[in-house]
Structure 1
Amino acid sequence: MSTNNGAKSKKQPVALFNGTVVTTNGVYRISDITIDEAKELIKEYGYISAIGHEATAEAMSDLLEVSVTMNRIQFYQGIGQKAIVLKLNIRPAEGAILNRPEIESIGYSLKLMERLE
């Protein structure tokens, strides 16, 4: 008899996002995370970029000290999977594509987004 008990214990790569976007139905928890905590998660689980903007990928590369590429993919966060989000301090104007200096001047924080169920 097969069970799904092992599904939650399977290590899934940490997803990297450029916004707190819910990728599929579920229950999520969002909390603050430090750069050091984010680096530890990346080290333990690996990562997959779902970042759709070059300047954000550059910022995440510098912050996490890994090579993060822009990767405009359709991503679905799995149950138990963690995501690290670069969340801007303000919402940019509609259609705005920010460069790296603009991201730095606006400011941002890192968030941990976990899909619980």
Structure 2
Amino acid sequence: MVTTNGLYSVEDIDVETAKVYVKENGFISAVGHEATAEILSEILESSIPMNRIQFQQEVGQIAIIFKLNIRPDEGVILNKEEIHKVGFSLKKMLRIE
């Protein structure tokens, strides 16, 4: 999710690459749903808390994006099993300017 105006670079990344970014750079969680936080904690092998904050990505800052393979119907909140069923990918989003 783009949090503020700017120029961004977005690319697919795998779980191992995401783990390296988290380990080397630390992170600020802006994960808004508990099931997503639980899945990210499992796959990244780090405690990723749910944290519904207003966040603005800074120039030069990398964000790891959790993207569902589908868009759920309005008002639907998926649980862990449903998220695994529809699938997801990870993206690296770098704010360039």
Q: TM-score range by the shorter chain?
A: over 0.9
Question: Sequence identity, in percent?
Answer: 60
Corresponding residue for 2:90?
Answer: 110
Distance 2:4 2:66 in 1: 19
What is the correspondence of 1:1-117 to structure 2 with a 5 Å cutoff?
A: 21-117=1-97
Partner amino acid, structure 2, of 1:84? I
Structure 2: gaps (5+ residues): none
Q: Could you list the per-position Cα deviations for residues 73-117 of structure 1 after superposition, in whole angstroms to 9, with x for gaps in the alignment?
A: 000000000010110001010111110000000000111111010
Count of equivalent residues: 97
Distance 1:49 1:96 in 2: 22
How far apart are 1:29 and its partner, in Å?
A: 1.0
Q: Could you list the per-position Cα deviations for residues 26-53 of structure 1 after superposition, in whole angstroms to 9, with x for gaps in the alignment?
A: 0011100011111111111001100000
Distance 2:61 2:16 in 1: 19
Runs of 4+ in structure 1 off by over 3 angstroms are none
Partner amino acid, structure 2, of 1:30? V
Give me the TM-score of the superposition, normalised by structure 1: 0.81
Give me the TM-score of the superposition, normalised by structure 2: 0.98
Structure 1: gaps (5+ residues): 1-20
